Amino acid sequence: MTTTYTSYKLITADLQTSLTRVSEQPDVKRETEYYLSKIGSIKSIDEFFADSRLYNYAMKAHGLEDMAYAKAFMRKVLTEGTEDEAAFANQLSDTRYKELSESLNFAKHGEFATGFERAQKGVVDKYARQTLEVSAGEDNAGVRLALYFERMASSITSGYSIIADDALAQVVRTALQLPAEFVATDIDRQAAYYEDVLNLEDFKDTSKVGKFLERFTAMWELENPSGSYDPLTVFQSSSLTGISTDLLISINNLKLGGR
């Protein structure tokens, strides 16, 4: 049987070839061609939401497929943008919302937002990477976690960055062999522990990230015999799943003083 680490290395050894292979899959190619043919003509958030294929493509590209139903929530994310520190996306611990708002920055650029490369090729590249990770996870959830961690590692700036992202936290807890009960401890203590035992600057060094993932994949195989792990749980939008969109916005408004 191919190990988690071997599978991960086979994909990343020539990542561009892996991404190209994914991009050429008929369903991916079809949706990408549609996206590129239409997105440049979209001039407003209303037009973007009106085309469900475009909307769903962009949501999947940013790993937010499970939140596609929450259009009122997503409209607030895009409408407020990211320029203001108090903007909705900046108040959410899950950085994927901020990334989407920056890719399709209607708040800053208005009708010209979709003309930028980040709204076109940038989103297409994200879609291919996301599809690659999801596909890898169908065979081995540990490989998907490793690919995700590799992509996101440089964004880790504190212990709280780890805690805020369930998938990152799963990788770190597994690599450090922390017991399941660790997640129930005080958040501040968790963050302090991560910052004490890890050199977070190492996560900006690709070779050191590789070493960390070698450790993670070895521990993963010991802790997760085949078929014993649900690969979807940690990739759902952090603590948002199953909660009413209107309730989420109401809670956020209260938190932000009624904005």
pLDDT of the residue at 235: 66
- Contact (CB, 8 A) for 231 and 191: no
Q: How confident is the model at residue 95 (pLDDT cuts 50, 70, 90)?
A: confident
Work out the burial of residue 103: count CB atoms within 10 Å of its CB; fewer than 13 is exposed, 13-18 middle, 19 or more buried.
buried
| Backbone φ, ψ for residue 25 (5° rounding) | -65, 135
Rounded to the nearest 5 degrees, what angle is found at the Cα of 170, between the Cα atoms of 241 and 87? 50
- Contact (CB, 8 A) for 191 and 154: no
Q: How confident is the model at residue 225 (pLDDT cuts 50, 70, 90)?
A: low
pLDDT digits (tens, 9 = 90+) for 23-47: 999 999 999 999 999 999 999 999 9
Sequence-separated (6 or more) residues with CB below 8 Å from residue 134: 144
CA–CA distance, 85 with 119 (Å, rounded to integer): 22
Average pLDDT of span 238-247: 44
Other beta carbons less than 10 A from residue 45's beta carbon? 18
Rounded to the nearest 5 degrees, what angle is found at the Cα of 88, between the Cα atoms of 233 and 125? 60
- Evaluate if residue 259 carries a pLDDT over 60: no
Sequence-separated (6 or more) residues with CB below 8 Å from residue 225: none
pTM of structure: 0.83
Q: How confident is the model at residue 223 (pLDDT cuts 50, 70, 90)?
A: confident
Half-sphere exposure of residue 87, counting CA atoms within 13 Å on the CB side?
22
